[in-house]
Amino acid sequence: MMNAKCTSERATKWMHWIARVLGTLASVFWVTALTLSAIFEKGPITLEGVMLAGLVATNAVGVFIAWRRENIGGMVTVIGAVALCVFAFVTAGHNKGFAMLVSGGLFLIPGILFLASWRRTRK
């Protein structure tokens, strides 16, 4: 019985750390991409760009919160990821599925893992 509990706790810790690493990598990727785009692109600031920056910031903050509070951060990340998927679907010209996967999907997976890890630690 003790071995099964130890294995379950180990799996929960792995789930927790995988969510942290994936969420942090996605946040760093998107924040870096948007920052470089803002610095080097010439042209006016568009509403689409501002909305994208806001959604990415929401997801990055959700991941940051989830480092301490998995339930709250996971919920913020999942809701932000779904909103980012919808935004990508509406604004993408071609390959809407790929756009949704690259934008919101990168945050949706860690968000779900944060919530699953939190759920398993409660039991």
CA 23 to chain centre: 5
Positions of the chain with pLDDT lower than 50, given as ranges: 1
- Answering whether pTM is above 0.95, one says no
Q: Kindly report, residue by residue over 62-81, the tens digit of the pLDDT.
A: 999 999 999 999 999 999 99
**DSSP secondary structure code for residue 93 in this structure:** S
Instruction: Specify whether the CB–CB gap between 87 and 62 falls below 8 A.
Output: no
Tokens of 48: 């689409």
Per residue in 50-63, pLDDT (tens digit) is: 999 999 999 999 99
Percent of the chain clearing pLDDT 70 (strictly above): 93
pLDDT at 123: 65
